A and B are shown apart, each in its own frame.
Chain A
């Protein structure tokens, strides 16, 4: 790799980095929110709602993200729903990852001490109050480390955007390879992904310290 080629490629890399950062930030927020909504309904423990959500979670957990993404990107235009690629990608990630987030939160809901719930019930709170104001915040707080881990998975998932015509970090690396047949760019992209992961896990450790409390 010579310096000139690299200098020419640098703007591309920064552009890709920008898109990856923005897309993963949006996807992390949307999938955590959707997962949390699903989890509140699971905490509410209505048989029919829980059944429907089970099906949702099972479908989106067990289908590859790539297939969902291609389905939305290539399939929906056939029924006259044409969305920009970025929206398709974020929608696919949101559907797929919110299932994982919901499953994480369901696990913590099951692990909440029975005494906490009984105390809330005996105070005379309504059912939706218990589920949204007692169970849900507790579950959210207990699952901070796992949620942070899931957000680093989401960052990695955005690398699939390169397959649906979005110029993200991965695409930038691939563009250099296609032009000069040198995989140095992909190594650089890999290092950047690892750095993002390290930053995220550092942030997660800080957040975990804040969220944990002594009983």
Chain B
């Protein structure tokens, strides 16, 4: 097989990856937003439950979550199981990021909103969330890089993504070097795009760093 044929063979699996990644990004964001708002509100019993959930998700490897969901919940397709487990897993992290962003908003804004007679949810959606949407992007982007990298794992439950196709192909060509290089380059490009987005936003919001590196003192 020439390189071109290899790429063509693997492109058949790219569709699944390109379905899984955007879907997972959206669902993770929504789930994380819900978790973030709930844990920011500090509901008495809920607080501890959310904390427990966070600790569990931070302690478990992605593979364990994936296998538990796949073996225990009866989903019609492996794709669905993969999507749900990625959402549950990375949603916890995104929720933590969003809660952290809410904490940076001055308390006075909540008090001002309440004294104007707005409800909690209205304050959240009209005041808090619009403010944190931009500062959150760099942190969320680095989490999404991890998510994209974790999607390589879904082949173990039988989702026919890029990795799965690549391994199928390598069973025929016996050439793991170029096979894994191709997969690696593909994921590298995908992750770098997300990283660039994060960097761009970070540059536009952060104050210019005044500190100088060591090189400026020794000419």
- B-binding residues in A (CB < 8 A): 43-47, 58-59, 61-68, 70-71, 74-75, 78-79, 110-112, 114, 117-118, 121, 127, 130-131, 135, 152, 156-157, 159-160, 162-163, 170, 173-174, 177, 183, 186-187, 189-190, 193-198
Q: Are A45 and B59 in contact (CB under 8 A)?
A: no
Stretch in B27-35, B99-107, B124-132, B176-184 touching the partner: B176-184
Q: Does B58 contact A (CB under 8 A)?
A: yes
Q: Are B63 and A62 in contact (CB under 8 A)?
A: no
B184 — which chain A residues lie within 8 A by C-beta? 63-64, 67-68, 71
Roughly how many angstroms separate A74 CA and B153 CA in the complex, as a whole number?
A: 17
Roughly how many angstroms separate A212 CA and B211 CA in the complex, as a whole number?
A: 22
Q: Are B192 and A58 in contact (CB under 8 A)?
A: yes
Q: Are B64 and A198 in contact (CB under 8 A)?
A: no
B210 — which chain A residues lie within 8 A by C-beta? 114
Q: Are A198 and B59 in contact (CB under 8 A)?
A: yes
A67 — which chain B residues lie within 8 A by C-beta? 152, 163, 180, 183-184, 187
Q: Does B71 contact A (CB under 8 A)?
A: yes
Q: Are B170 and A121 in contact (CB under 8 A)?
A: no
Roughly how many angstroms separate A183 CA and B202 CA in the complex, as a whole number?
A: 43
The 8 Å CB contact of B67, one of A62, A110, A183, is A183
Q: Does B208 contact A (CB under 8 A)?
A: no
Q: Are B61 and A71 in contact (CB under 8 A)?
A: no
Closest Cβ of chain A to B186, distance in Å, is 9
Given A46-B215, A64-B152: A159 touches B180 (CB 8 Å cut-off): no
B191 — which chain A residues lie within 8 A by C-beta? 61-63
Q: Are A45 and B180 in contact (CB under 8 A)?
A: no
Closest Cβ of chain B to A124, distance in Å, is 12
Q: Are A196 and B180 in contact (CB under 8 A)?
A: no
Roughly how many angstroms separate A158 CA and B64 CA in the complex, as a whole number?
A: 12
Roughly how many angstroms separate A197 CA and B52 CA in the complex, as a whole number?
A: 13
Q: Does B16 contact A (CB under 8 A)?
A: no
Q: Are A152 and B59 in contact (CB under 8 A)?
A: yes
Q: Does B214 contact A (CB under 8 A)?
A: yes
Q: Are A163 and B59 in contact (CB under 8 A)?
A: no
Q: Are A197 and B55 in contact (CB under 8 A)?
A: yes
- Which one of A46, A62, A74, A130 has the greatest number of beta carbons of chain B within 10 Å? A62
Q: Are B215 and A71 in contact (CB under 8 A)?
A: no
Q: Does B213 contact A (CB under 8 A)?
A: yes
Closest Cβ of chain B to A104, distance in Å, is 11
Given A67-B187, A74-B176, A156-B62: A62 touches B68 (CB 8 Å cut-off): no
Q: Are A193 and B187 in contact (CB under 8 A)?
A: no
B149 — which chain A residues lie within 8 A by C-beta? 62-66
Closest Cβ of chain B to A45, distance in Å, is 4
Q: Does B23 contact A (CB under 8 A)?
A: no
Closest Cβ of chain A to B199, distance in Å, is 11
A112 — which chain B residues lie within 8 A by C-beta? 211
Q: Are B60 and A71 in contact (CB under 8 A)?
A: no
B218 — which chain A residues lie within 8 A by C-beta? 127
Given A45-B215, A177-B71: A75 touches B176 (CB 8 Å cut-off): yes
- Which one of A67, A131, A160, A190 has the greatest number of beta carbons of chain B within 10 Å? A67
Roughly how many angstroms separate A45 CA and B55 CA in the complex, as a whole number?
A: 38
Contact with A along B181-206 (1 / 0, CB 8 A): 10110011001100100000000000
